[in-house]
Amino acid sequence: MHAGLWWFLVLYFFGQAQTEPVKTTLCEIARHPDNFKGKLVELRALVESGIEDLPAGMTDESCGAELKFLTPDDPYFARLLKSKAFRKLTREVKRNPMVEATVTGWLRRTGTDEKAENGLVLESVEDIVAKPLPRIRRAQ
């Protein structure tokens, strides 16, 4: 088969190769998940810690949206652990409950039709910022 025809068929059956992520918000994903399903997305939000203080997902309190991180297989997770930015995110989440980051990943739907949830397969992490907790004044 001619190489050009082969690529045409690949693109026809799998859609155009997405090289740039769709920049969006967690609230927008929560409102319209089908618009982002299977797409590479980039968003910025607060990162939640999970088991063993690993980053577990993201949250946006302005709309009550949550999105869990998915790790499809051990080799994939091992590659992510080699990323300096992901290791930095893990350290910051252990130290501070308020960490904001920009993440890029593939939006996937998991579970059954009755209990389906959206999740994000992380590709990359950047611009990690620990947010200081508000100070509470002590009564004198």
Cβ 55 vs Cβ 81: under 8 Å: no
Q: Which residues contact 62 (CB under 8 A, 6 or more apart)?
A: 27
Q: Which pair of tokens denotes residue 48? A: 């939640």
Per-residue pLDDT of the chain (140 residues; tens, 9 = 90+): 444 444 444 444 444 455 789 999 999 999 998 899 889 999 999 888 776 667 888 999 899 999 988 876 666 677 878 889 988 988 888 888 788 999 998 898 877 667 778 888 888 889 888 887 666 666 66
User: CA end-to-end span of the chain, whole Å?
Assistant: 82
Ordered domains of the chain (ranges, CATH): 18-130 (2.40.50.140)
pLDDT value at residue 102: 92
* Cα 19 to Cα 14, 16, 64, 128, distances in angstroms: 14, 9, 30, 23
Please state the φ and ψ torsions of residue 74, each to the nearest 5 degrees: -60, -45
SS3 content of the chain, % helix, strand, coil (to 5): 30, 35, 35
pTM of the model as a whole? 0.74
